[in-house]
Amino acid sequence: MPTLTGRLEKPGETFSLELKDLLNELRRRHWTLIRWGPEDGPCLMAAMFKWQACADVLILRDEHQATGYRVPTMDDSGVFNPDRVSYQYHASPLWTLRAILGLPEPGQPGSPMALETPASACFVSEDLPKPVLIRPLG
């Protein structure tokens, strides 16, 4: 099974221990991995965790860019091209992982509730190969 780190590492480089720890936390929390493109060279990778009425999403574009957001949803439609989000964060993979994993559970104090228009980074291009659902990590 591919790992989230496979696409993002440059030859001869590895993620910092902290980033690896956060990726391991995605596995521990049973997030689902989605890959666009072949296993040995994906175009895009993402991870998603579904709550009862929303989903937390992490999109890893490259070693410098990632997006995390919480999207209200009743099914899987619109998760990767949302009309509205209740939270969004755009930065490096390390900071984006910290942000999305640090969100309070839906309905808990401090959990984002107000809906806003998503930034363009919350969208996955329609031109990408068909996505492959890997399975819940863990």
Low-confidence ranges of the chain (pLDDT < 50): 1-15
Taking the C-alpha atoms of residue 112 and residue 106, their distance in angstroms, rounded to an integer, is 8
* Residue span of the structural domain in which 127 resides: 4-136
Q: How many distinct structural domains can be found in the chain?
A: 1
94 burial class (0-12, 13-18, 19+ CB within 10 angstroms)? middle
Label residue 120 exposed, middle or buried (CB < 10 Å: 0-12, 13-18, 19+). exposed
Instruction: Report the pLDDT value the prediction gives residue 25, as an integer from 0 to 100.
Output: 84
pLDDT by residue (tens digit) across 49-85? Answer: 999 999 999 999 988 999 999 999 876 668 999 999 9
